[in-house]
């Protein structure tokens, strides 16, 4: 652990790029929708649009990334170890229709990229084929094509689907700047089977942080907004849990987005703060986690 901390201190100037391109256009489109369309989205895809209101503090994010312990896949702050869990991310994103025990795995025989897009977008093979581009080793579809389709699509359900796909491609898994990558459509195409995307989101977050820490550079391919919301939730001290968490339409993302934050702390100051965190500084059980039944005994083992 000491070697890890020494490495953190010696690499305090390392930078990590957080991608936020095109999110403004997504937010503008969302703001123009009526309540009925928004409720359709929330029902099918959870609270993803609320991430659009989360501002990324790049100074904090760059400092936070340097405390990622890739040997143990967790954040190590001084004497504290902390890591996002499936339960926490599931509670944050609030997916009404997923089954938490149905985890995404890539199917053996998957349709072609064009076929998957035809199914998701509700467009012809000719139209889809004309939009597909090659970016490096992957096939992608430009955000511009998806944006234009959202604005004119006559089918409200498909409009919502395309918007959700765009959030996954531009914010949750920003693999290609300004494009939605083919691998993102593999996951998205399975969401109607009620699989949970959370383990995949966490796995990509851990992989990207570990790659960055091992090389000392790189672009974070994960949802920076979600990671920062998770971080803040563990340092959001409250005297009592708000009654709103028991409401069906309660969104922890909205509440955390509305919480005032200091944005004038530089990387170096954040490094000092994080390095000196104590047990009493941490809200170990986030206030949004409503009490639920848990397994505490299995046979003769407590």
| 279-291 residue pLDDT tens | 888 877 665 555 5
- In the chain, % helix, strand, coil (3-state, to 5) comes to 50, 10, 40
- Quick one: pLDDT at residue 14? 42
- Quick one: pLDDT at residue 182? 93
- Average pLDDT of every residue of the chain: 83
From CA 295, how far away is CA 293, in angstroms rounded? 7
Residues in a beta bridge with 29: none
Selection from 45, 174, 188, 197 nearest residue 120 by Cα? 188
| Both structure tokens of 247 | 């409401």
Selection from 166, 171, 157 nearest residue 185 by Cα? 166
Q: State yes or no: pLDDT of 245 exceeds 80.
A: no
**pLDDT digit string (tens) for 154-198?**
999 999 999 999 999 999 999 888 999 999 999 998 888 888 999
134-to-117, 122, 167, 229 alpha-carbon distances in Å: 15, 21, 20, 33
Q: Which residues have CB under 8 Å from 124's CB, separation 6+?
A: 118
CA dihedral 13, 14, 18, 21 (to 10 degrees): 80
**pLDDT digit string (tens) for 82-126?**
999 998 999 899 888 777 777 777 766 778 999 999 999 999 999
What pTM value is reported for the model?
0.85
From CA 55, how far away is CA 109, in angstroms rounded? 39
Q: How many CB atoms lie within 10 A of CB 173?
A: 24
Q: State yes or no: pLDDT of 244 exceeds 60.
A: no
Between 232 and 251, the higher pLDDT residue: 232
- Quick one: pLDDT at residue 26? 94
- Mean pLDDT for 254-261 is 81
What's the order of all strands across the beta sheet hosting 179-181? 133-135, 138-142, 179-181
- Quick one: pLDDT at residue 95? 86
For residues 288 and 233, is the Cβ–Cβ distance under 8 A?
yes
């Amino acid at each position: 652990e000491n070697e890890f901390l020494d490495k953190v201190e010696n690499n305090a100037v390392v930078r990590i790029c957080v991608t936020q391109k095109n999110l403004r256009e997504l937010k503008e489109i969302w703001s123009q929708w009526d309540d009925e369309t928004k409720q359709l989205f929330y029902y099918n895809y959870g609270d993803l649009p609320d991430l659009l209101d989360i501002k990324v503090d790049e100074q904090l994010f760059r400092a936070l990334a340097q405390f990622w312990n890739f040997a143990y896949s967790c954040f190590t702050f001084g004497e504290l170890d902390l890591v996002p869990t499936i339960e926490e991310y599931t509670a944050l994103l609030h997916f009404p229709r997923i089954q938490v025990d149905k985890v995404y795995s890539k199917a053996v025989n998957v349709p072609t990229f064009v076929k998957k897009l035809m199914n998701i977008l509700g467009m012809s093979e000719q139209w889809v084929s004309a939009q597909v581009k090659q970016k490096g080793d992957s096939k992608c579809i430009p955000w511009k094509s998806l944006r234009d389709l959202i604005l004119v699509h006559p089918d409200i359900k498909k409009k919502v689907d395309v918007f959700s796909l765009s959030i996954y491609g531009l914010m949750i898994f920003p693999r290609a700047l300004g494009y939605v990558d083919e691998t993102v459509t593999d996951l998205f195409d399975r969401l109607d089977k009620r699989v949970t995307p959370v383990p995949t989101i966490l796995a990509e977050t851990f992989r990207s942080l570990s790659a960055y820490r091992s090389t000392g550079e790189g672009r974070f391919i994960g949802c920076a907004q979600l990671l920062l919301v998770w971080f803040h939730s563990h340092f959001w001290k409250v005297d009592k849990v708000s009654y709103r968490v028991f409401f069906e339409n309660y969104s922890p993302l909205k509440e955390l987005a509305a919480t005032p934050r200091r944005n004038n702390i530089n990387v170096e100051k954040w490094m000092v703060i994080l390095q000196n965190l104590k047990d009493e500084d941490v809200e170990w059980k986030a206030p949004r986690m409503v009490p639920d039944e848990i397994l505490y005994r299995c046979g003769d083992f407590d």
